[in-house]
Amino acid sequence: MGDWPAEQSNREADTIVRRRQGRRALASLVVAALIAAAATACALPLRDLGPLPPRYSGPPLAADTVVSEMTSVLAAEGITVERQPSDVLGSHSERLSGLHAPQTVDGALKAAFERARSEHGWQTGPDMGSGTLTLVKGNWTALASFPGEAAQGLQALVIVSLTCIDCGDAAPAPTGHPSAPTRQQLSPTASILEPKREP
């Protein structure tokens, strides 16, 4: 009987040790699960999901195609425009500009953009305010702003900007550049710095 308190004390100590071991084992499982979840979360962004989808719908269009379509619909509404040369190497943009009677220019622009939708499949672009018209087709966006009031006796300036997204081979070739720029084109101050030669 004298050993009973000692045995009871040993049993209580064993119980306490086992509980601690159980808690440690449970904590280890939780930590392992968290590490596995973190590793999985970190691995997901590294998987190769293939190429990103294009930022536009439909086949890519060449610059000449969109310029021809927009020039055609504008001409049908009495707005004659010219294709401006690209002055920025590698620029994926085109600009059409012309003049029109200020009294009817807003209506003519609206009619031309509506004609582009009905005849050439252009879609209404993002809303950029009541003074701006936008269209999208394939990898191109067309934008025109209403010219506003022109000075007395002058015609209104019409500008239609065409911007390409992910052009690749459809990118417009830059125009208006000589094959080899001269020194004066590279540096406007070159002629000032050069010493004058006596005749």
Q: Tell me the Cα Rg of the chain.
A: 36
Q: What is the pLDDT of residue 181?
A: 42
Backbone angles phi, psi at 156, to 5 degrees: -80, 140
What is Dmax (Cα atoms) for the chain? 133
**How far apart (Å, rounded) are the C-alpha atoms in residues 14 and 11?**
5
- At 191 the pLDDT is 41
pLDDT of residue 2: 52
Beta strands 123-124; 93-100: pairing state: unpaired
User: Band of the pLDDT at 139, cuts 50, 70, 90?
Assistant: very high
pLDDT greater than 50 at residue 184: no
Phi, psi of 28 (to 5 degrees): -65, -40
Q: What is the pLDDT of residues 80-127, one digit of tens each?
A: 999 987 665 456 889 999 999 999 999 999 999 999 999 999 999 999
CB 61 within 8 A of CB 162: no
Q: What is the pLDDT of residue 28?
A: 74
More confident residue, 154 or 198: 154
Tokens of 145: 């702003």
In angstroms, rounded to a whole number, what is the distance separating the alpha carbons of residues 158 and 146?
8
What predicted TM-score, i.e. pTM, was given to this entire model?
0.58
| H-type alpha helices, the chain | 4-43, 63-76, 105-120, 183-186, 190-193
